[in-house]
Structure 1
């Protein structure tokens, strides 16, 4: 199963389920954040980077005077619900940094993704990440990956500050920032709704189907990066 894609100048790729295992995120990163985030927020809520996000959490709650325990409770609830909320993602990133630096884990990257990203970068393609995880968390994952620091492969990163991943306006904004026609951008993801949104603005799309039983649609499908042929 291979797919040929033509006239591509830039590739924007998702992370979870695409460049790396969805299980790494859900079975390693999320449990680590759930375990360590409460005490991290309690101990560091007066530090500028954490305080800024705590205020955003309070605003999202509609409770500007909420105490720190209420903030922690809300964060844990969002983790349970797998909410794609920017302040949660930012705080998770700060917690995950400690895990990476203490070698509690390394960022999972599929070998095929690593090899193709290296080759595409060598060939002069512009590479970008777009994930619901914060840009900080993205850079940690690729900075402390199974293959070492891969951040130099990417020209830039996008997260939910550019918009939701299932909203076409987000991809329009990305194309504008890349200063490229949408049809010269290839978007890679495992999620149909994200691919739909990218396709709506004219981007070319390929779905990574790495596990049996995944939802699929009319997008080109591959099981690994090396099945994508660029021409």
Structure 2
């Protein structure tokens, strides 16, 4: 591929541990979901309008258990997590090489964007309240499911247009092969990362030198 002008990063399994999401964030949302909805009725009305069924809480809890990539769920989870981060109960996990890579690319003038199934609000919380401090000044933008599925090439075409970069000038990094395939179908360079040492293009962000 040509030398990238920008990097597009997945979160789970790429910049941050999947376990942080499944073992910390999801249980926190489950524990506080009903209480948050009861305490913030006006805020959640338009969100709940997109959730089917009479028992909205039950449906949302089912979606969490399924890890459903539903925008209203992701939006509500982001609001609940924001409260946890603000209280200091939550700290966003990032691998040690993540802030190092962000600083290296930022210093080199390479723009870094995030693309995750988690809401943009949730993305900003993870990086803004990370265990390595506030990393958001080194990030140029965020994309979530409102842009489209991460397994569809059209989503990456939209992201390229939004960033003002030609697709071939964007490098996408993810731990999911289907996402890598979609990005490549859109003309992006893409690297599969496996932090457990399995078959992949890279095993750490430290391997990407731009």
Partner-residue secondary structure (3-state), 1:97: helix
> How far apart are residue 192 of structure 1 and its match?
0.6
CA shift at 1:105, angstroms? 2.5
Show structure 1 runs of 4+ deviating over 2 A: none
Aligned residue number for residue 227 of structure 1: 207
Query: Structure 1: where are the runs of 5+ without partners?
Result: none
Deviations, residues 7-43 of structure 1 (Å, cap 9, x unaligned): 1001000011100111101100011001111211122
**1:30-179 matched pairs, under 5 angstroms:** 30-47=26-43, 50-57=44-51, 61=52, 63=53, 66=54, 70-179=55-164
**Who wins on radius of gyration, i.e. which is larger?**
1
2:165 aligned to which of 180, 184, 189: 180
The answer as to whether partners of 1:10 and 1:126 remain within 8 angstroms in 2 is: yes
Is contact 2:2-2:168 (8 Å) kept?
A: no
How far, CA to CA, are the matches of 2:33 and 2:79 in structure 1? 9
Partner secondary structure for residue 106 of structure 1: coil
Please give the root-mean-square deviation of Cα atoms over the aligned residues, in Å.
1.3
Matched, 1:195 2:180: yes
TM-aligned CA deviation for residue 46 of structure 1: 2.1
Farther-moved stretch of structure 1 (79-88 vs 99-108): 99-108
Q: Is the CA contact 1:45–1:54 (under 8 Å) kept in the aligned structure 2? A: no
Bigger Cα displacement from structure 2, 153-162 vs 100-109: 100-109
TM-score of the superposition, structure 1-length normalised? 0.87
1:181 to partner: Cα distance: 1.3
Contact conserved, 2:197 with 2:203, CA < 8 A, in 1? no
Kept in 2, the 8 Å contact 1:171–1:198? The answer is yes
SS of corresponding position for 2:7: strand
Report if the CA contact (8 A) 2:173-2:180 is conserved.
yes
Q: Find the aligned partners of 2:104 and 2:146 in 1 and give their Cα distance.
A: 29
Could you tell me whether the CA contact under 8 Å between 2:11 and 2:116 is conserved in 1?
A: yes
Q: CA deviation at 1:207?
A: 1.2
Question: SS at 1:117's partner residue?
Answer: helix
Using the TM superposition, give the Cα deviation of residue 6 of structure 1 relative to its aligned residue in structure 2, in angstroms.
4.2
Q: How many residues align?
A: 210
